[in-house]
Every structure is written in C-alpha cells, then in structure tokens.
Structure 1
Amino acid sequence: MCLAVPGEVLKISDCRGVVKVGNLKREVFMHLVPEVKIGQYVLIHAGCAIEIIDEKAAKETLEILRKLSDD
C-alpha cells in the first residue's frame, strides 16, 4: 500500500522545494507540480510532490494522521 501525505510548501528552488509536514521539514522534488507556489499544499509520495491540494483537505488529512498516531 502507498501513502501520500500533505505538506505546505515553504521554499522552491528550481525543481526542489522544502515542505512542512506537521513539525518536520523535508526537501522534496517538485518537477511534477511546476506551477506550485509557496504557501500551497501538495501531496508528497516517495520524496516527490505529486499533486497540489487545497488547504482545507490538507489540514483535515493531517489531523486524521495525527489522531491515528496518538492511538
């Protein structure tokens, strides 16, 4: 099973970016979402941003993942 997690784009430089997921910041490849802007949310899978998603959906998903990790 594969899982993509949402993250907020903090920085973009060429085809790489820094994305915040919860309290973590990770560098990811951005070549699949060249139109992404700082402050938007993306789904991250295997070190790549694969899709831009809206903020509401991203925050709901992060909350669900947080609750699952608390159990």
Structure 2
Amino acid sequence: MCLAIPGKIISIAGQYDGVFRIGKVAFYGIMKEVNLCMVPEAVIGDYVLVHVGVAISIVDEQEALLTLEYLEKMDEAKELKFPVT
C-alpha cells in the first residue's frame, strides 16, 4: 500500500523554476527536501501531501493535522516519536 503523508512547507528554493522547485517540509519536526513541481501554487506555510519525495497536493491545516493524528493512533508514526501539534 502506498501512503502520502502531510507535512508543512518551511522554506522553498528554486521558486522561478517549476520543475526543480524544492521545499523543506516538516513532518513531526523532521525536515525533508520535497519536490514541489506538482503543486506550483504552494507557498511557505502550506500543508502538502507527500508521496515518495514529491508533494502531490495541498491540504488545509485541519485535514493535515487530523490525518497525522489518525496515523499516530494507528501506530504508523511510532518511529517519529513527536506529538501532533
């Protein structure tokens, strides 16, 4: 099964190049570089669903936090050990 995880965009590099636009995205306090080519309208502070290193859609904060809460309850986020806030 494939799963997309929501994270918050903290910074964006390459803003003028849609193909190589990269963002730093926070997941439970862990920062990862994510390709933003599929969400050209995304801005710092947005929550995005990330699958295999690519943001595939923008989601609102409430939906993102609810999804993270569900993952935590299912024990899917146990290795991250950060509270959902």
* 2:44 aligned with 1:26: no
Cα deviation per residue 1:47-70 (whole Å; 9 max; x = unaligned)?
Answer: 000100011000000111112225
The CA distance in 2 between the partners of 1:25 and 1:13, in whole Å, is: 14
Q: Cα distance, 1:23 vs. partner?
A: 2.2
The CA distance in 2 between the partners of 1:60 and 1:42, in whole Å, is: 13
SS at match of 2:38: coil
SS at match of 1:33: coil
**Number of residue pairs matched by the alignment:** 70
Q: CA RMSD in A?
A: 0.9
Higher helix share: 1
The answer for unaligned runs of 5 or more in structure 1 is none
AA matched with 1:10 = I
**TM-score, structure 2 normalization:** 0.78
Cα deviation per residue 1:9-32 (whole Å; 9 max; x = unaligned)?
Answer: 000011100000112110010111
| Correspondence for 2:51 | 45
What is the aligned-residue identity percentage?
A: 46
Q: Cα distance, 1:44 vs. partner?
A: 0.1
The answer for unaligned runs of 5 or more in structure 2 is 15-20, 79-85
**TM-score, structure 1 normalization:** 0.93
SS at match of 2:74: helix
Higher strand share: 1
The CA distance in 1 between the partners of 2:10 and 2:62, in whole Å, is: 17
